[in-house]
Structure formats: structure tokens, C-alpha cells
Structure 1
């Protein structure tokens, strides 16, 4: 015989009820089965609510009449059950109170009604079904609300009942309820229907217990919370028992025990997908390793501090004895060593009772101030990692810290194969996703907020979206662009913004403040956050601080942050260090070339960098590479650079030399120099009269530059060319260096003179390398190159998160 158990969600008339009847019918025609049913849908909650209304002496009639008219009740004779409930509710309304015994009698009607309905529907399908009231089978003690079965009596009655049934009869048994030896109705507490089914399987020595639910089986985590959760095909009883102990919603520890006693497999199945295998729990060994993450949410943390009790024996015994006397179970426990501090988890509903019991036990110790205080924190949750070996626990733990989730309390089992952490309830979903991504080898999700979508930003967004699948396949990184913003509007999507982002932003973008992005990330529990600044705004950089404080790492192609005042630069670094955030900005100097990284590594290694010199601007490189060697006017070459997208919208940003000056200052600060922007000596290539006019006017009059630069070009000797260079020099071991940008004449045979196209070239002189500099050369301009460099920073940061 097999036992089939159906939960309340499966029996919901608006849900899978027809599937339930079909499953039972098909199975009954092929093999011997018994069926255990829960109350329909939310029936138990509704009955409890009506009871509460009656106890408060409120009008309960309206809700009760609505309950009686539920669709599932039509065509079924439930006169006895409804009359019984009416009398109970009227009595409670009159007295203004009720006992646990009365509550059990009321809640039991849900299962009784459900059993009658299922039986009638099966009979209509020509199935020989018989309604079985489990109060005649499961005999319990009189602990109302959480009764314990009397095994010997219950087994005898169950075997006798099923032996009396004709062959081919399908018994429909009510779950959750039993009765005392005096025929008083009891309920079996949390997960009572599953427990009833397990007891029935035990007493009848069933071949298998099949629990039909609304999910496909047991998952590595709650699939409603973790989209990447994977179904577990097989579990050992011990693993399932651990899952049950640590809050797996489908399982309960007391459900597993009766099955272990008789080695009866348990299969978790989806009512909507009865043909699938679900998850099988048995005594068969499974592969070692982490099996699942479970969450206990309805809990509270009790903090006990007694500095005066340090070194005194028997304190722990007093604590747990006081709780045991109140039948209060304790799960996760952690004890401090520097003072007498103890933290432990109890059911949330019993936290106050636990504190009162401890206050009574330690009343004298409070008076002598040996106990300082006992407090409750009920905004916590427990995440348990079933199968976690402590030797690899650093990975999920570090990932939590990286995401600004600090465990309040930590505990592991004696075997070292199960770890539990207590976190703030508001961080539970995010923590679950972070740990799951680390443990189960699924793609790590990286959530990106991109600010600025001009030539570089827009190209970057397209590059990311076009390469998402490839990156996930090769690097197991799932890049999700959840926010795109310009200076006016913001587009948000927690599942990721798609290829039509420009149209979506135009049509659906909304005015915003930075807090809208931060709030959205928190509300949707987004992990591994990276904010990317592709603006050129000196105002936006002040947003870096709230982003850092709210768990975002930073990537920037914006030079403003690292060239602001040295005080701002220092405060930004302090905030990054305090919040353990990282900040990458390789493209702020040299586009996609690894200049900042190389400079930083040399400096950190103790190498004495004596000078850095080079062509820092791809725009100016293109301009003077072509102007020096071709028979073209300066304005003609400049227009070509503008058309190729090598310049800023206002070319004076490049021609002013400020861009090169900013890059020099960024490198100086990488060497821990304290130079300010005002100390950079810059040669501006724009005549004074044209430095302040409107951009449109400047672009219409580019030819006014031709005479001056033609004269400069005429001074060149054979084998000489013009280059706009930046140079960092002086005693770089002191607090400040010399930063200078200028238009220089160089030999055409030199490294700088041989530059082509828009390439940049940097020479890093060091004490060790002497007159032979480290040379870095490559494309130094263009949206694609810069965006690709930012993309590289994204991948570097993502792999280390």
C-alpha cells in the first residue's frame, strides 16, 4: 500500500482540486492506496478568525455565513459540521473566551469537511472511497494544540480499521486531528497533516508515502526567493531530518521520524505535475556535499548578558532548565568568551515567555547586578546551510560581508556539516541569494546600475547586453543591468533591462533622485551591486558616498572624482575602506590601456617611479600625428577627428589640455602625491579669445586656428613632429610632484614621434629600469575602446565579489 497525502493548497477549489481527484482515481484503479487530506485552502485560518471574532464578542455571523457558502461546500451534506460550529461560536461569543480544547474542536472541522468532500467527489467518479475520521485511529494525550500520539493504541486501531475494509476500497483519512482516550478532539500541531500521513504509513508499513504539494519537490533554496534554486532529486533521511529541523517548509522533523523507524521512503510531488519524480527521501546513500539552504523566519533572538556570572559553574544549566520547564525549545546557540554572554533562538511567539522565565530564575542575580539584561530581537531570521563543511564556509561568509550583510550569530553542528547563521530579517532574501550563488556553482548574479548613456555609456550598455550569454557561459557571471539613468530620467527593472533600453528609457523613464536607485535595490534584495559612472559630471561624484554606504562597488570613466580636491579624494578613500567597497577607474587614463594598474602595482611593490611621460590624449594624438606629416590645415584634421568621434562634443575640452592635466593628476595621486588641480601647468591650445565663446560659434570658426598652427609647423626641422605631451616629474618621493602639459617638438624616430592614428603612449621611468622606460602603447580614444575598458573593470570587479 502507498499513502497519498494532499495539502491545503492542492485541495483549493480554485487551484488543483480537479487534479487531486484525477490523481487519486488513476492510482486507485492500479494499486492499493490510502489518502490523507488537509483542510481546503485557507479554511483553518478562516475558522480561527471566526473563533477570534466570537471571543471578542464581535459579530461573527457574516464571516461564518460566507464560509458556509464556499463553492467546495455545495452539494455536500455538512449540516452536522456547520451546526456544531454554530453552537461553539455562540458559546464562545457568550463567554468571551475559549480554551485550546475548544480551538482544537473548531479547527478539526476543516479536515472533517475536506475529507467528506473528497470522498463524495471520488464516489461520483465510481471510486469505492470511504470517509475515515482519524479521531478513531490516532489516539493521543490531552496536550491540546500539540497532542502526542499514543503509538501502541493508535497502531492497533489503525490496523484493525484497514483490515476491516473490503479489497479495492480507498480510505480518505483526515489529517491533523486525533482524539484522547476519552474521545476529546485534539490536533497534532504544526505540520500535523503530514505527521498524520507519516504515522499512518508507519502503522500500516506502507511501501511509500507520497506528499503532493504545490512545488516540484525539495529545492536547494526556496524557489520563490532564489530564482536559480535547483530541485534535489534524492535525499537521505538524515539530510531530510536536518532540513526539517532547520525550517524547510515542506518537511517537519516529527514527519520524518515515523518513516525512519520503518524505512519507508517519502516522495515530494507536485499536484500539477504528477508524472514527474519529485524528490525521493530514503535510506539510500547520496553524494556528500551541501544539499540545501533553509530559513526559519518566525523566530526571535534572546540575548542574555551576565558579566558577574563569568566563571561561575551551572549558569547554562539554569538557563536551559528554566526554558525547559516552560517547554520552550532552543535552536541556534552562541556563547561569548570575554564575558558571560549567551545568544539563542526561540520561537517568536514564545520569546516574551522565555524572557519572563529567565527573569524569574535570575531574579536574585539581577538584584546583585551579576546579570545585566535580557533582551529580545524579533527582527531576525535563521539561514541554515545543510551539508556545509566548515573548511569551505569562508566562501559564503565572505560573500555576505562583501554584500554588507553581517551575521549576528553563528553556529555549527558537532559534525561540522551544518552551519546556521542569524541575520536581520530585512536582509534574509538577499543573504539567501548571496549564499546560494556561492555554494551551488550557479552563475553569480551581478547587478549593475549605469549612470550616463552618452557615446561611452551607450556603447557599454550595448556591449554588456550583447555579451551577457557568453559571459555567463564562460565565466559563470550573470550580468543584470537593473538601472539606466541620465541626468533627467531613470529606468528600473529588477530582472534586467533589455536590448530596447533606449526606447524604454525614452517611453518609461521617470525623473529620479539617487535614493530611488538605492531604495529599489533594497526592496528587491539585489546582491553584488556595482554602480558605473559614465558621466563627466563633477556634481554626480558626490553620489559616490551614499552608493558606497549602501553596498555598491564603483566603476568610473569620469575623471572628476580623482581630480577633485585632495580632501575629497582622501574622504572618498576613507569611505571605501570603512565600507569595504572597491573602486575601479582604469579608463580615466589611457582608455582601455592598463596604465593605472601598472603604475599602482609598481608603486605597491616598492619600485621608485621617477617620471611618467607620454601622449595621454588619443584625440590630440590623432590631431598632431596627422597634422605633422600631412599637407592639411589644422582645422581640416580637427574636423576629421570630430567626425570620427575622437573628441568631446566641445573639442575645446581636448584642446584646452585640461583632459591631459586631469590624467596626470590621477596618476600623481596613484603615487600618493598630494597635488591639487591648480598646481598642474597646462598649455591651452585655444587662443584666449575663443576659450569662452559658445560651442556652436567655436565650431563654425575652426579655421581661425589655421594660421597659428601653420606657423608652428613651419618651424619644424626635417624628422621633427609635434606631440602634445604630459609629464609627471620631480622628486616623487616627496608629497608633491611637477605636473606639466605642453605642445612639444620631438624626433620622428623617437617612440613618441612614431605614434600613428589615435594611439596613446606612456613611458614609466623607474629607479630600477633607469633610462629604459616601461612603455605602454595602444588605442587611446574612441567610445568603443573606452567602453571596452569599462567592461573589463566590470568583469574584474565581478570575479572578485
Structure 2
């Protein structure tokens, strides 16, 4: 025999009930010996209990009751539910008069949903030619007197079920009410929430069933709740122990009590989707062939009770008093966490029992409050429990570190004696984000990186195009999903939690809105976006002051904007203090060498203890092109400058490059990487422009650039033979001198041999004293800089 159990959504009006009837009909024809256990249809139980509460508060419930009757009668109007409806009317009327109700009354109300469900399905099957028999479990499952969560009396219930199925067997399909039973006085009881699964498991045990098939609205058990984690995957196999752990810690598709009757007889449980007949679901057996982490489950209807007191230090028996008190008040503790001193104890219980728990504990520890041995018993109700089933404690640091990097600090955690399951208590507001972070970390599913790009100009726009065109390859190769959720310029932002596509420029124009930085931060929080990176491709002096706010709100930083690293040292230091405090990263490789690995190299040398004595080089790709070309071609300086502008090597106002300030800022960045506390004013800068060209407006400057020709013709002519001009930055840690200047070097030297817009850096250390470490490559252009920023983003993904 096989037991089929159908949940409420599988029995809802329309597609649900039609599909369920067809499945039962097909199974009866193909396999013959089956029994069917049913839950209440749709949201019937919730609706019934909601009306009961309204009646107790003396609020009107009649309109809702009328709608309930209409829904339950809609599928088969020939069926008479007058007995059930009259029962409900009488119960609600009585409760309304009294203004209160007992658990006994509550069970009578709740039971009507299953009764209606079973009667309806029985009648529909008979119309389809199936020999169906309505089976009321109140006559079969006998329980104790604990209304609301009754415990079946095994011996008598087993005998009743076996005798009933002897009478109604063979071609008969018993349609059985789940969830309900009766005590020895034949008063209706219920087996607790999700108790229909328990009913089905009991029948499977009593009848030695071949398999219990649980039909739901999903394909089986998933690695996480698909409503919370879009990347959740179905699990093909689970062991009973793993399923029990999942059920205990919130997997709603299971019921913790369901597993025990199946384990006793080693009866497989298969979770199937009513609406997807082609899927084999998840099968739960005594053993599985797979090891490791199976799933992440969530309990979000819990509260955390904290008991604190200095006087508890070393005192024996505190735990016993707590559990005795809670036990006497029928309050179950799912997690306990404490220090060995018992100075502080944390308990996770059902949220609806929190007030009762506080009252009972305060009463128990009343004298301890008086002696000040206990100073506080408090409740935190905005918490949730995340349980990682199959998590080995030796590997727990991986998801834990991922949470910390996303600024999610668990309130407490607990592991089982086996060391294979770990539970975390987090703030409920962080639940969605936390479970996605953990899931992505432990299941190796693509790590999602959520990026906000500030600046969509030449570099920013190029970067966005590079990300869009490369993200599929990066996902396939590195299992990293780059998701640009925000594009902002100085005034507007375009937000899309699902990420931009090829048409981002069009979408920006269509959907852009004015914004504040806080709105972007709030958007990321509202959509539970994890692994946040803010990318600055602007040249804004103002935006850098938002860096700290971004860091405090969970963003790592990538920047092509060198201003943050070259403003006053106090800000430079404060930013790094906040980065360390919030454990965030700040990458800015393109600040000095565009796409060259210069800063990383210097950091590595410096941290390894290699003393860097001197750094010298051509820091500006713009000025590199300018003097590389001018030194070897017989053309005026002003013409080379125009060429550089046309190729996009210079800033819109070339004086930004010619002033030497850009090179000076790059030199200052390197100095600060070596822990030198310099300011920009400490650098000696040779301005390549005469004074009369420095202060005039841009239009007049462009007309006057031929004024430079005579000066640079003389400089070029006065060089030694086989020498070329180079504009260099020069840093000496031994003298503390920082200079930016135009020099003449041999054409066959390292500096003299560079071509085009290449940058070059010579790093002199104790190990590289005679022959410096040389880093050389493209030093200008939006594509090169954008690629360098992209490289920083990818490096950062490895840290997250």
C-alpha cells in the first residue's frame, strides 16, 4: 500500500483540486492499493481560526463566514455541508457571546476544514468512478486530552486503523481526514499545526505502507526556501535524521513528528509537486548516498529570551530551574546558548510564548532579583533562526566570515552534539540577506556581487559596457554573478535590483530619478542585496566624503578617483580607520598606474618588510605620449598637444595634466602607501606652463598654446645627444623629498625607451638596488582605466 497525502494548496479550487482528483484516480487505477490523507483546502484553517478570534473579540465575522461557505461549496454544489456550516455558526455564536474560547472549542472549529475537504474529494472521486470511502479519523486516531496538540494513543489507534482498513480494503480508496482525532470521551482533538503529515505517517506505520507520498505545491525539499533564495536547488535525497533536523528548524513542508513513525518501519517519504507530474521529488529514507550540507532552514516565528546576572556566576542548577519552569508552562526551548559561567543564558522559544515565558521566569527568579543575583530577563522578538543542516563545525568559518563581511553579526549560534548542524540567531530584518549569503557560500552556487557605479562618463560608461559584455563569461568561468543594481551621475540614478543589461544607456534615460546617497543605501537594504561594492569613476571632490557612509552601510569600495587618497591626511587616515572597523576593502589600483599592478606590488613589498628606497617613473600616460612623441618627431610642441587632446589622452582642459598636479597626486598616493604622512603641499612640482597661461579661461588658452613652442624648442635643443625628455615623479624615502619635474634621460635607458602613452615605474629597494624592479605598460585611455577598475572589482570578489 501507498499513502498519498495532499496539502491545502494542492486542494484549492480550480487547478489544484482538479489535478489532485486526477492523480488519485490514476494512482487507484495503476497501483490499486492506496489511501489518501487530506489537509483542509486552501487557507481554510487560517480562515477558521481568524473568524474564531473575531468572534472572541465580538467583532463581525459573518461576511467572512459567508465567503468561506461559498468557496468550500463552489467545486461541487450538489454536496451538502449544512452539518459542518451549522456547527461553525453555533460555535462562533457561542464564542461571541462569551467573548472567549477554550482550546477544546478551537479544535472543534479547526477540524471542520479537514472534514469538508475529505467529504468533497470523496464525492468528486465517486463521480469519476473511483470507489472512494470517506474516513473520519476521529473514529480511528485516539489521543490524550491535550487539545491543540494532542498525542495519539498508539495501541488503540493502531488497532482501530488496522480493523478499519480490513473492512474497507481491496478496490476501496479511503479518503482520510488529516490533522484530527478524538480523546477517550470522543471529543475532537487536533495533532498540532501541519498535523495532517503526522496523520499520514501514522497510517503508513500502522498499515506497513510501501511509501508515503506527500503532494505539495513545490518540487520537493530545497537547499533553502525558494521564496527567499532564488538560486535554491532541489535535493534529490535526504536521510530521516536530516529531514528531522530540517523539520525541527522550520522546514514547513515537513512536520517534526512525521519522521518518527516512518523511521520505525523504514518507510520512505517522497515529497512531490501536485502541479509537476514529471518531477520525481525528494525521497527521504534511512540512509542516503550523499554527504555534506543538505539544506538551510528558517524559523522566523521565534523570540530570544535573555537571562543575565552576575550572581549566577558558578551557581549550580540555574539551567534546571529555567527548564523546569518553562516545561511546567508548556514552553519548548529550541536553542540554548550560554557561557560556562552561566552569567548569561539565551533561549530561543516560540514567539507566541514569549510573554508567558517572561512572566514565569520572573516569578521563578523573584528572590534572585531581590538579592540582585539576577538583574535582567528580557525578550528580543525580532529574530529568526537559520539552521545549516549538515554543516561541519570545522568548516563553519566560511559562512560565518561571509556574514561578517556583509555586516551581519549573529546574535548567538549553537551546534548539535554531532557537530554536523549549526543554528544561528540573526535579526529578522537581516534574515533575507543572511540566508542568501550563507547559501551562496556553502553550496558553491554563483556568488552574487551587487555593484553601484557612480559616474557614467567616459571611464564609467566604458566600465559598464565591459561588465555587461563580460558577465556571462565571468559567471561561467568563475561562478561569480556581477549585478549592477545602480548607475548614478551627479544628479540622477537608475536602480534595478535584477541588474542592468545591454540597453542600460536607454534605460537610464527612461527611468532615471533624482536621488540622495541614502536612497541608494536604503534600496540595497530593502532588496536584501548582499556583497555590495560602490565604484567611483568620477573626479568629484565632494563624492569622496560619502565613502565613509557607504562603508558604514556595508559597501566595499573601488575607485578610479584619486582625490580621496590625496586630500588632507586626516581624512585619508579616518577613511582607513572606518574601513578597518567595518572590515571593508578599498581598492584603487587605477589611481596611479591605470591598469598596471603597481599599488598591489608596492603594498606586497612594503608589508613583506622589503625597504623601498626610491620610486621614480613616468606617472602620466598623457604626458608620456606628449614627450615620447615630441622627443622623436620634428613638430611643434603645440601640435603634439593637440594630437594628445584629439586622442583623448588629456583632460578636457589639458592644463590639468600640464600643471603637474595629477602626477603629484599619484606620487603622494605612493608615498602614503609607504606610511609617509605627506600632504600635497610637500611635493615640489614643476608646472609645464608659463604663468600667463595658467589663469586664463580655457578658450583663450587653446588659442594661445603656440606660446609654448619656443620654450620647448629650446629645452629640446639643449639636451645632450641621444637624450629624450620625460616628465617624472621622484620619491625618496631616505631623504623624504618628493619631486615632479621635467628631465632629460638617455634614449636607451628604461625611462627613455618607453613608447606611446605607456607609463613606467622604477622601484628601488634593498634587494633591487642596482637594477630596479620595473613595471611598464599602457598608462592612459578610458578603456585601460576601466579595465583596471574592472580588475579591482574582480579582485574584490575573491575577498567577499
Question: Shorter-chain-normalised TM-score: which range?
Answer: over 0.9
Q: Tell me the alpha carbon deviations over residues 385-434 of structure 1, each in whole angstroms, 9 at most, x when there is no partner.
A: 11111111111111111111111111111111111111111111111111
Q: Does 1:333 align with 2:332?
A: no
Q: Please give the alpha-carbon distance, in whole angstroms, between the structure 1 residues aligned to 2:592 and 2:169.
A: 86
Q: Please give the alpha-carbon distance, in whole angstroms, between the structure 2 residues aligned to 1:450 and 1:459.
A: 11
Per the alignment, residue 682 of structure 1 pairs with 685
Shift of residue 605, structure 1, vs aligned partner: 2.0
The answer (yes or no) to whether the contact 1:236–1:286 under 8 Å persists in 2 is no
Per the alignment, residue 765 of structure 2 pairs with 766
**Which of 576, 583, 586 in structure 2 is aligned with 1:580?**
583
Q: Please give the alpha-carbon distance, in whole angstroms, between the structure 2 residues aligned to 1:716 and 1:95.
A: 107
Q: Please give the alpha-carbon distance, in whole angstroms, between the structure 2 residues aligned to 1:107 and 1:142.
A: 16
Shift of residue 696, structure 1, vs aligned partner: 4.1
> Equivalent residues in 2 for 1:378-393 (5 A)?
378-393=381-396
- Is the deviation greater in 682-691 or in 382-391? 682-691
Q: Please give the alpha-carbon distance, in whole angstroms, between the structure 1 residues aligned to 2:401 and 2:430.
A: 15
> Equivalent residues in 2 for 1:414-433 (5 A)?
414-433=417-436
Equivalent residue of 2:463, what SS? helix
Per the alignment, residue 321 of structure 2 pairs with 318
Q: Tell me the alpha carbon deviations over residues 685-707 of structure 1, each in whole angstroms, 9 at most, x when there is no partner.
A: 23333333443443454434333
Q: Does 1:49 align with 2:50?
A: yes
Equivalent residue of 2:330, what SS? coil
Equivalent residue of 1:232, what SS? coil
**Which of 237, 250, 271 in structure 2 is aligned with 1:268?**
271
Per the alignment, residue 664 of structure 1 pairs with 667
Per the alignment, residue 287 of structure 1 pairs with 290
Shift of residue 75, structure 1, vs aligned partner: 3.5
- Is the deviation greater in 745-754 or in 400-409? 745-754
**Which of 455, 465, 469 in structure 2 is aligned with 1:466?**
469
Q: 1:792 to 1:199 in 2, by over 3 A?
A: same
Shift of residue 138, structure 1, vs aligned partner: 1.1
> Equivalent residues in 2 for 1:20-169 (5 A)?
20-31=20-31, 32-70=33-71, 71-72=74-75, 74-165=77-168, 167-169=170-172
The answer (yes or no) to whether the contact 2:625–2:758 under 8 Å persists in 1 is yes
Q: CA RMSD in A?
A: 1.5
Per the alignment, residue 550 of structure 2 pairs with 547
Q: 1:429 to 1:586 in 2, by over 3 A?
A: same
Shift of residue 713, structure 1, vs aligned partner: 2.7
Number of residue pairs matched by the alignment: 797
Shift of residue 166, structure 1, vs aligned partner: 5.2
The answer (yes or no) to whether the contact 2:243–2:284 under 8 Å persists in 1 is yes
The answer (yes or no) to whether the contact 2:610–2:765 under 8 Å persists in 1 is yes
- Is the deviation greater in 47-56 or in 679-688? 679-688
Q: Please give the alpha-carbon distance, in whole angstroms, between the structure 1 residues aligned to 2:730 and 2:195.
A: 78
> Equivalent residues in 2 for 1:467-546 (5 A)?
467-546=470-549
Q: Please give the alpha-carbon distance, in whole angstroms, between the structure 1 residues aligned to 2:47 and 2:609.
A: 72
Q: Please give the alpha-carbon distance, in whole angstroms, between the structure 1 residues aligned to 2:733 and 2:204.
A: 86
Per the alignment, residue 755 of structure 1 pairs with 754
Per the alignment, residue 369 of structure 1 pairs with 372
Equivalent residue of 1:219, what SS? coil
Shift of residue 770, structure 1, vs aligned partner: 2.3
The answer (yes or no) to whether the contact 2:592–2:599 under 8 Å persists in 1 is yes
Per the alignment, residue 795 of structure 1 pairs with 794
Q: Does 1:302 align with 2:301?
A: no
Q: Please give the alpha-carbon distance, in whole angstroms, between the structure 2 residues aligned to 1:577 and 1:515.
A: 22
Shift of residue 518, structure 1, vs aligned partner: 0.9
Q: 1:567 to 1:73 in 2, by over 3 A?
A: farther
Shift of residue 514, structure 1, vs aligned partner: 0.7
Equivalent residue of 2:10, what SS? coil
Q: Please give the alpha-carbon distance, in whole angstroms, between the structure 1 residues aligned to 2:120 and 2:645.
A: 79
Per the alignment, residue 5 of structure 1 pairs with 5
Shift of residue 729, structure 1, vs aligned partner: 2.2
**Which of 647, 651, 656 in structure 1 is aligned with 2:650?**
647
Q: Please give the alpha-carbon distance, in whole angstroms, between the structure 2 residues aligned to 1:58 and 1:496.
A: 47
Q: 1:110 to 1:650 in 2, by over 3 A?
A: same
Shift of residue 678, structure 1, vs aligned partner: 1.8
Equivalent residue of 1:224, what SS? coil
Q: Please give the alpha-carbon distance, in whole angstroms, between the structure 2 residues aligned to 1:713 and 1:564.
A: 35
Q: Please give the alpha-carbon distance, in whole angstroms, between the structure 1 residues aligned to 2:551 and 2:323.
A: 43
- Is the deviation greater in 468-477 or in 39-48? 468-477
Equivalent residue of 1:113, what SS? helix
Q: Please give the alpha-carbon distance, in whole angstroms, between the structure 2 residues aligned to 1:607 and 1:717.
A: 36
Equivalent residue of 1:86, what SS? helix
Shift of residue 748, structure 1, vs aligned partner: 1.5
Q: Please give the alpha-carbon distance, in whole angstroms, between the structure 2 residues aligned to 1:742 and 1:501.
A: 43
Dislocated runs of 4+, deviation >6 Å: none
In the alignment, structure 1 segments of 5+ residues that lack a partner are: none
Shift of residue 712, structure 1, vs aligned partner: 2.8
Q: Please give the alpha-carbon distance, in whole angstroms, between the structure 1 residues aligned to 2:267 and 2:342.
A: 48
Q: Please give the alpha-carbon distance, in whole angstroms, between the structure 1 residues aligned to 2:261 and 2:420.
A: 24
Q: Please give the alpha-carbon distance, in whole angstroms, between the structure 1 residues aligned to 2:703 and 2:137.
A: 93
Q: TM-score, normalised by structure 2?
A: 0.97
The answer (yes or no) to whether the contact 1:9–1:15 under 8 Å persists in 2 is no
Per the alignment, residue 193 of structure 1 pairs with 196
Equivalent residue of 2:334, what SS? coil
In the alignment, structure 2 segments of 5+ residues that lack a partner are: none
Q: Tell me the alpha carbon deviations over residues 606-656 of structure 1, each in whole angstroms, 9 at most, x when there is no partner.
A: 222222111100110001111111122222222222222212222222111
Per the alignment, residue 416 of structure 2 pairs with 413
Q: Please give the alpha-carbon distance, in whole angstroms, between the structure 1 residues aligned to 2:260 and 2:240.
A: 9
Q: Does 1:184 align with 2:187?
A: yes
Shift of residue 604, structure 1, vs aligned partner: 1.6
Q: Does 1:777 align with 2:752?
A: no
Q: TM-score, normalised by structure 1?
A: 0.97
Per the alignment, residue 740 of structure 2 pairs with 741
Q: Please give the alpha-carbon distance, in whole angstroms, between the structure 1 residues aligned to 2:289 and 2:151.
A: 32
Per the alignment, residue 639 of structure 2 pairs with 636
- Is the deviation greater in 692-701 or in 271-280? 692-701
Per the alignment, residue 613 of structure 2 pairs with 610
Q: Please give the alpha-carbon distance, in whole angstroms, between the structure 2 residues aligned to 1:90 and 1:297.
A: 34
